[in-house]
């Protein structure tokens, strides 16, 4: 979280300056924008972190911004600040993938808690995505026969059943299984199965 940048978007100068001061005082790096359109101009060079945006803004509101960010596949979590009259829009934003919305008026602690939760969830998602990418790369390194054995393991078949299905000896299946474990970097069968399921390369059905 210490390296994260909070991208703060609000067209109200007073609110923007106040929140920038509060977040900076809490030890967070803040980059402020006075509109969603100005923020979008920087999308190509965004630093990792979290987006905190007001809902109602001229030109493009928070919901429209969220939808645009989805189209652009911007992975940063987004928190919406909303007034009482914007709750329906905020719910729509949640359905569009917003991490959280903070109802005005709010205190600094509530916003900080929402930011921490959003960053934690984002980091966990990023770790899962990296693990899946690594599993895909390792899966591609398996031989065809090793992949056949892995399919059997993912299907929950014992070595003897896999051997019978592939017309191999149980000993040969054991060798292939050991090779699969080594190449995939799995320490247990359950870990191996989770790695295989996390990929889209190996059908599990």
Quick: pLDDT tens for 27-76.
Answer: 999 999 999 999 999 988 888 899 999 999 999 999 999 999 999 988 89
Residue 161 has pLDDT above 90, yes or no: yes
Third-level CATH fold of 5-129: Rossmann fold (3.40.50)
Sign for the pseudo-dihedral over CA of 131, 132, 138, 142 = positive
Integer Cα distance of 96 and 194 in angstroms = 28
Percent with pLDDT over 70 in the chain: 96
For residue 20, what are its two tokens?
A: 């920038």
Least confident residue range of 43-47, 58-62, 113-117, 181-185 = 43-47
Residue 118 has pLDDT above 80, yes or no: yes
Residue 113 has pLDDT above 60, yes or no: yes
* Residue 95 pLDDT: 84
CB atoms within 10 A of CB 76: 19
Third-level CATH fold of 141-197: Arc Repressor Mutant, subunit A (1.10.10)
3-state secondary structure labels for all residues of the chain:
CCCCEEEEECCCHHHHHHHHHHHHHCCCEEEEECCHHHHHCCHHHCCCEEEEEECCCCCCCHHHHHHHHHHHCCCCCEEEEECHHHHHHHHHHHHCCCCEEEECCCCHHHHHHHHHHHHHHHHHHHHHHHHHHHHHHHHHCCCHHHHHHHHHHHCCCCHHHHHHHHCCCHHHHHHHHHHHHHHHCCCCHHHHHHHHHCCCCCCCC
Rounded to an integer, the average pLDDT of 163-181 is 92
* Residue 203 pLDDT: 53
Residue 86 has pLDDT above 90, yes or no: no
* Residue 205 pLDDT: 46
Integer Cα distance of 162 and 152 in angstroms = 6
Q: Where in the chain is the domain with CATH 3.40.50.2300?
A: 5-129
Of residues 78 and 203, more confidence is placed in: 78
For the CA atoms of 122, 125, 131, 137, what is the dihedral angle to 10 degrees? Answer: -100
Of residues 1 and 146, more confidence is placed in: 146
Q: Where in the chain is the domain with CATH 1.10.10.10?
A: 141-197
The structure tokens 């000993």 sit at 171
Integer Cα distance of 196 and 134 in angstroms = 11
Percent with pLDDT over 90 in the chain: 50
For the CA atoms of 52, 55, 60, 63, what is the dihedral angle to 10 degrees? Answer: 90
């Amino acid at each position: 979280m210490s390296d994260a940048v909070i991208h703060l978007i609000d067209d109200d100068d007073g609110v923007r300056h106040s929140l920038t001061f509060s977040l900076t005082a809490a030890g967070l790096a803040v980059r402020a924008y006075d509109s969603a359109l100005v923020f979008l101009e920087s999308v190509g060079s965004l630093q990792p972190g979290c987006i905190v945006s007001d809902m109602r803004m001229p030109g493009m509101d928070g919901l429209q911004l969220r939808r645009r960010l989805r189209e652009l596949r911007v992975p940063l979590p987004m928190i919406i600040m909303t007034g009482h009259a914007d709750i329906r829009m905020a719910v729509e934003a949640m359905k569009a993938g917003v991490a959280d919305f903070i109802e005005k008026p709010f205190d600094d602690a509530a916003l900080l808690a929402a930011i921490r939760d959003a960053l934690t969830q984002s980091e966990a998602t990023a770790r899962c995505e990296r693990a899946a990418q690594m599993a895909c790369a390792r899966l591609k390194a398996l031989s065809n026969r090793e992949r056949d054995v892995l399919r059997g393991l993912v299907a929950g078949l014992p070595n003897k059943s896999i051997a019978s299905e592939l017309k191999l000896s149980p000993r040969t299946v054991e060798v292939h299984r050991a090779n699969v474990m080594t190449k995939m970097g799995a320490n247990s069968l359950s870990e191996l199965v989770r790695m295989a399921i996390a990929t889209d390369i190996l059908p599990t059905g």
